[in-house]
Every structure is written in C-alpha cells, then in structure tokens.
A and B are shown apart, each in its own frame.
Chain A
Amino acid sequence: MRVDFSRVLFALAALVLAALVVLPVGWLIVTSVGGPHGFTLDNYVTLFTDATMIRPFVITLASSAAVAVLCVLVAVPMGWCVARTDMPLRRWVRILVMASLVTPPFLGAIAWELLAAPNTGFLNQLARAIFQLDRSVHPFNVYSVTGLTFVNFLYTFPYAFVFIANALERIPADLEDASAILGAHSAQTAWRVTLPLILPSILAGALIAFLQSMTVFGSAAVLTLPAGFHTMTTRIWSLFQFPPKPELAAAASMPMLLLTLGLLRAQQLVLGRKGYALIAGKGARRTVTRLGAWKWAALAFCGFVLLNAIVLPYGALLDAAFVKIAPALPTFDNLTLSHVHFVFFELDATALALRNTLILALGAASIGTALALVVGYLVARRAVRGWSVLSFLASAPIAIPSIVLGVGLFLAYTRPPLLLFGTLWILLIAFVTIEFPAAYQQLSAVVASIHPELEEAGRLLGATPLRVLRDITVPLMRSGIVAAWCFVFIGAIREISAAILLFTAPTRTLAVVIYDLNESGDTGSIAVLGLLLMAVTFVVLALANRVPVIATAAEEYRA
C-alpha cells in the first residue's frame, strides 16, 4: 500500500479520529471553565469544597482500591490453578470466567439485588429460614459500599485473571528449571522467579480492575441509589437530572479523566520496562504442578468464586424470568411465561429497544472494525508518515471513561450546527468511540503478525497493491476481522455508561430499558430482557470463536 491512496486514507482516518476524540474532550474542557459570565473556576471550587461532590469521590476511590486488591487476591491463585496445575475442569473454569467477563455489571448488580436485597433477597430469606431469624434481620445487604465493592469485584476480576493467567502461561519452563537446577525448592522458585516475572501483569491487572470499577456506571446506579449515596459516575449522572448542571458535570469529569490517564501511563511504564519482556517462542514447555489431593481444594476455591459471579446471579435471573413473583423457589404452581409474554407482546419499549440496539451494534461493529482495519494497517505497516499520530488518536479513547465521553458528546452535539442529540447518531458515535480502540489494538496486532514479505511476494508476481490487499492481506486477517467485529458488537449491545446520558425516549436501547425497568422494580421483565441480552452475546461470542478455517494455518505460519 505504499502508494498515494494510503495518504488519502491517512487524512481521512486522522480526521475521523480527531472528530471522535478531540471534539468531545475539547468541549468538556471548555465547558468546565464556563459559567453564565464567561471564564470561571467556580465549578472546580465547588468540586473541591462541596461535600456532595467530595464524598462520592472518596467512596469511589476506596471501593475501587478494595476491588483491585480483591481481584489480585483471587485472580493470582485462580490464574495459577488454571494455567499451571492439573486441577480438574480447568477449561470450564476458564469458560465461566469469560462468561463473567462479558456479563454487564449492571445486569450482575440487578441479579444480586434479587439475591441480597435486605428484605426480599433470596439469600437473606434462606438465612432467616435456616437460622430462625427475625424478619427484620438481614445478613446480606447489597445496597451498601460493601455490596457495591463485592459486585464490582465479581465482574472485574476476569480482567486481572486474563492478564495473570496469560503471563503464567508464557513463562518458559526453562526459566524455572534453571532456578531448580541451581538448588531452589519449588516454593523458592515460585517466590523468586515466577512471581517477579508475573508481577507486571499482576500490577496491570490490578490497575485495570481499579479503572473498571472507578468508571462503571450501571452497577453503581443500581446499588447506590436505593442506599442513598453516590459514586463519581452516578454523581455526574445526577448532575444531568433536573435542574441540569452540565458545567459542574464537565468539571466533575476531569478528576476521573486525569486519574485514568495517569494510571494508564503508570501501567505503560511498568509494562514497558524491557527487562520484563516475557516472551517465549511457540511450543515452549511449561511446567505443570501436580496438586494431589489439594486439587479438590483448588477447584472448590474457583468454584466458590464462580458460584457468586455466574451460578447464583444467572440462577436468580432465570428464576425471576419464570416464576410469578421473584425471588421464590420455582415450583410447578408458580412457574409462568407471563413475563416473557409481557416483554415480547405488551411492553412497547421492547421492539423499539431491540431495533435500536441492533442498529447501533451492527453499525458500531461495522464502522468500528473498518476504521480499526484502516488505521491498524497504516500503523502496523508504518505505511505513512505520521502513523504515530494515528496510533495515538486511535488509542486515546481507552483513557476516556465512558460516562465522561458521554458528557463530552452531550456538550458537543447539543448545539448547532452539530445537533445530534436525540438521534441514534450520537449513540452510534459514542459506541464507535468507546469500542473502537480494542478492535484497533487487535487488528494492528494481526497486521503486524502477517509478514510483509507475504505481500511483497504478491507484488513481484504482478499484483497491484489493491489486488494484494484483496487476495492476500484480507484473507489472512479474516478471523481477526470477524473477532474484532464480534467484540465491538458485544460491547455495543451492553453499553450503558454513555448511553444513559445520551438517550431520549425514541432512542432507548436494551440496556437503558432494563435500567428503567429496574427503577420501577419490574424484576420479571428485567430478567427476561437481561437473559435475552446475554443470549445474543453468547451466540455472537460462539460465532467469533468458531470462525476458523485458515486461522490455524495462518498461526502456524506466523509462529
């Protein structure tokens, strides 16, 4: 592609990315220092003096730090059991962790309402029945900082798990064998070789967990509002309720934006140190620890975590979807399809939300993947001068929390000439911006893994650059492209943090409808819609895992 049209593509991609990133962030900054009489720092003064702004800040930081610590404490042993031991059912543990990764936190939070709401919660009822407790006693209360921390932990530990398990898998056995041959016991080797080697991944995992739980809106809104306190994200959201204070909201977005930027930078520094490059070639052996009888203890530990993350919540949702009044143990008497009937045939919002969600997810996935493909190709092949600018712009949205982006987009597109608020377009822009960086990172990695000589060989045999793209590059990337598309799609159908600020009645999405229903306490319908959302997710995920074909041959070659 070393030809002129790569420059055209470059200009186009740069323009689109700049519009996606620079515009909302620019408006955010401008608005945060604006007031009725021009430039002012009043918003920031309020931010740092008003107790209703400071308290959410403290709660969020404390809760997120606790989530990060919990995630490491759980993900390290779990990652080790799955990656490096002979624990039974390792594959299933991994699959269920992935299931919890794709479970939207707001849905998890709603399920945990069913399980641990103070009065009606299933676990509370159970505890009362077993221990003969009074009706006023409730051992579990999900509407609390503890509850919020617990639920956020359940749906963010998979991020830490992925980092840590992958790192453990990539340590070549040689490194540990070398320690053993020098006379170290296995515990010494673990402490002095293995742990230091995966330490950067542990830190990265903890950081991601912290960021995820700091910026999450859905679960926070579900759990904090009934309890009467705020996190940073729900506080920002509340500033858009009547009377709206967008200037203060913009200012309140800044600490979160800066914190995210700073922490991501810290992560780069930790992971970028060259001594930590932990890479083994293909086929590197890894040692498997035989656990003996301990393997059952290990399995019980993993099982207990997944019980809380997957089994109980999905059980509660299934129960709520098919019993008359949840939560109650299903019996032949109280089973019903009335919720399903209501959702699909009586609730007006369903058809609309389904339609909107599908349009948005298909659009975001297709546009996001196409953009990621172009930018990823230009960057990975260094095909144009200025590729580093593209790379920066394409990665920038990672550092913008979704709700902050929501605020920025709201500010950018509620005024002429760009009056998009109230249309699906603004949601589409939000979803593309939020989900595109992941697709970009994946696709540029795929391009980088395709040896340039494969393309050059085509050129010398007489193919034009476009022909090479069609015959060689794209076919080799096919599985990567499909996977990226699926990930953007899944991300888009569950997005709520930005959507919650940008939707209007005709542009409601499935996630927004579920959230609305939760406020009115209609658990049956929520459960049906939530399960529908997850069913679509799992189908798409299965498709992504199946796209196949050449993947094996291509990987063989790359290795």
Chain B
Amino acid sequence: MRSPRAWRTAERPDGVAALELRKLVKRFGGAPVVDGVDLTIPDGAFVALLGPSGCGKTTLLRLIAGFLAPDAGEILVGERRLSAPNAVVPPEQRGMSMIFQSYALWPHMTVEQNVSYGLRLRRLGRDEIARRVATICTAVQIDSLMQRYPGELSGGQQQRVALARSLVVEPQTLLLDEPLSNLDANLREEMRFEIRRLHDEFRYTTVYVTHDQGEAMATADLIVVLRAGRIEQSGTPEEVYGRPRSEFVARFVGGANVLPGRFAGLDVPFSIRLEDIALLRAAPPEGIAPVEGTVVRRVFLGSARDYVVEAGGELVRVTTPPQVDVQPGERVWLEFPPERCHRLDPVFPVGD
C-alpha cells in the first residue's frame, strides 16, 4: 500500500508553493453554498473533495478554477493571490487544467486538434507541439485515435482524450469534476488507477471532486469530506475511514454503525465499522462483555454476509465472512472490540 505521506516526499523540481483556500465563502442568492472553507493543498498532492450532492464540492472546484468569484475569503498560491471578492485572476491565467464531468471535448475538432489546442494558444513551434502531443497521447494510450472526432469515440476513449488535453499543457494543478460518473463500472475502476498513475508520473497537484468514497480512497492522498459547504473532516484515507470524527463521516465514508452511549459498556456515542464487530453463535466464555441479540435479516454478498441484528434496543449491521451462517430469528452475541469503537467528536452533532 502507498504510504499516506507519499506526497510530502514527491517534491516538484521547481518547488511551487501550496494552494491555499482561506475562509472561502460563496452564495447563490440565499444560504452559502461554500461556507468558510479553510484548506491547504500541498504542492503535488492528490486531494479528493468528497461529499453528497449539494455539499458544495463542485462550487469549491469552480472557485479554484476561477469560474466563480468568492463572496468572501481568498485563494492563494504562495504569494500570488488568485481569487478574492472582486479580484479574480481569469481561468486562462491560472496555470490549471480541468477534466469536466461531460469531458467537454469540442465536437468540431479531431482528437489531435482538441489535444493540441492549449499548445497552439501558447504559440509553440509546430514540431514542439507535435512532439508533446505525441508524448502525452502515448502516455494515455490514444495515439491510434488522433484523426477521429469525439463523436466517434467510446466513453473511456473520450475520458482519455480529456486527460491528454488537460495534461499536455503541463498544468500546475489538475482539477477533476466527477470525471468517472459517466463510465460503466469496469471502466471506472480502470480509469481510477489511470488517473493516479498519471498523477504519479507527472506530479502536478490534483483536486478531485467525487461523491464516491471508493474513488476517493483509491486515488487520493488526502480526503476532504464536505457537508453543507463546510469541511467536516480532512485527513488521509486511513484516518477518515478509521477514525471518523462525526456520525456523518462515519456513515458517508464506508458505512458504519453509530450507536448511542451506554451501549456495549461505553458511555458516549461512538461509531464502529460493520466488519469490526464479531458475531458469535454462543456467549464467549470471557473477555469483552458481549451484547445479546436476535438476527433480523441476512444477505449473502458472495465474499461476505451482511446481517442486521437487533440488540439492546438498536439495529446493528454486521459484516461477517461467508462461513458464518446464521438464520434469521436465531440468538447471537455481538462483540465490540474497544480499539475499533470511535467516540464521535461532540462538536459535530449527531443527526441534523
């Protein structure tokens, strides 16, 4: 597995400074969509902005891109101020690239024209353009499609062209707006790794917007969980998954049981992952005090079984290996290893 701190060591040769968001606020009419976001994205890091629809993640991305002006706060890269209310460096001068949800490939240009567009704007020589286009198109494996039009490509191919078009200009920062949501499941998995591979190869800063926690965990060094325009928790995938600070994070990232205090001997609300609870058919002789319950529902998932157990007045979800085979209605005992129970931060209220 990748070291969670890998991006700290991936210094870029030119040592560009971090991307900094300070107390960023954006309103559309009434309530703020982005509500006081503070975030520092180290140079060369791969950051995922994760949250349900309407949490403000796309708005945050468009603020970073410069398509929107903040109502308060600012965006900095080192000493350079990119955005502040009434002072926004236009998108074309930010040294960023973006992969859009729709890919936004220009239907009137061939793959080659799409990819070379940014370089032509930079007035590079013909040979230089051809060389760079060839390099990047080989890297994303579209070198056989150069004369096609976007309408003649499959979804995965379009995605690769969009990647090539964004990367060929050697951006400092690559922004991705739910780039995989239009692909089918197999392709999505493949492109996930492709996006990470290219990041590691070219070492730009990546900001990746998604509502899919699996995508975020598979690609990012740093996950920022957003809720209602605020940062709920940020940290490495291990931190966010393993030590969720609120009920919202616990449920949204990976699924978890959120149980009230005085349950299983604990005195505060806590969360525990489905697979961390042990399901036993007989009361254990010693060790941690188990909670007795009745199986309400079970689902066979192939590599695991998913149970719902009524215990102590709560419905608890438990994932077990497939060998553990209990019928609904049977009595079982649940064990909650204390080191897997995470107390939820009281500043994040449970529920709404």
Contacts and interface: CB of A to CB of B under 8 A. Distances in A.
Q: Say whether A and B bind each other.
A: yes
A460 B96 CA distance: 6
A458 B118 CA distance: 8
Interface stretch (A100-108, A536-544, A548-556): A548-556
Contacts of A453: 100-102, 104
A460 B97 contact: yes
Interface string B6-42: 0000000000000000000000000000000000000
| A-B interface, 9 closest residue pairs, ranked by CB to CB distance from nearest | A461-B118, A453-B104, A557-B107, A556-B151, A457-B104, A459-B91, A453-B100, A462-B121, A550-B108
19 contacts: A451-B104, A453-B101, A456-B91, A456-B98, A457-B104, A458-B106, A458-B117, A460-B91, A460-B166, A460-B175, A461-B117, A461-B118, A464-B90, A471-B117, A476-B107, A553-B150, A554-B108, A556-B107, A557-B105
A550 B102 contact: no
A448 to B, nearest CB: 15
Interface in B243-292: none
B108 A476 contact: yes
B111 interface: no
Interface in A444-501: 451, 453-454, 456-464, 467, 471-472, 475-476
B108 A553 contact: yes
A471 B92 CA distance: 15
Given A456-B104, A461-B92, A550-B107, A557 B150 contact: yes
Q: What is the size category of the interface that chain B forms with chain A?
A: 20 to 34
A76 to B, nearest CB: 36
B169 A462 contact: yes
Given A451-B102, A453-B101, A460 B107 contact: no
B2 interface: no
Nearest to B94: A460
B67 interface: yes
A47 to B, nearest CB: 47
Contacts of A459: 67, 90-92
Interface string B164-176: 0110010000010
Contacts of B65: 456, 460
A454 B67 contact: no
A114 to B, nearest CB: 49
A456 B67 contact: yes
B100 A462 contact: no
Contacts of B121: 461-463, 467
A553 B148 CA distance: 11
Interface in A503-559: 550, 552-554, 556-557
Nearest to B114: A457
A286 to B, nearest CB: 23
A406 B150 CA distance: 49
Contacts of B92: 459-464
Given A457-B165, A461-B121, A476-B106, 8 more contacts: A453-B101, A460-B94, A460-B166, A463-B121, A476-B107, A556-B107, A557-B107, A557-B151
Interface in B140-187: 149-151, 165-166, 169, 175
B80 interface: no
Interface in A204-232: none
A460 B61 CA distance: 13
Interface of A: 2, 451, 453-454, 456-464, 467, 471-472, 475-476, 550, 552-554, 556-557
B251 to A, nearest CB: 32
Contacts of A557: 105, 107, 150-151
A274 B180 CA distance: 32
A464 B96 CA distance: 14
B122 interface: yes
A458 B105 CA distance: 10
A145 B102 CA distance: 57
A501 B90 CA distance: 52
A138 to B, nearest CB: 60
A457 B100 CA distance: 8
A477 to B, nearest CB: 10
Contacts of B98: 456-457, 460
B350 to A, nearest CB: 38
A460 B102 CA distance: 15
A283 to B, nearest CB: 14
A103 B107 CA distance: 36
A476 B166 CA distance: 21
A441 B150 CA distance: 28
A166 to B, nearest CB: 24
A223 to B, nearest CB: 49
A553 B175 CA distance: 27
A110 B93 CA distance: 64
A475 B100 contact: no
Contacts of B107: 476, 550, 553-554, 556-557
B65, B101, B107, B121, most chain A CB atoms within 10 A: B107
A423 to B, nearest CB: 41
A48 B95 CA distance: 71
Contact of B106 (A454, A467, A556): A454
B149 A454 contact: no
A459, A464, A467, A554, most chain B CB atoms within 10 A: A459
Contacts of B90: 459, 464
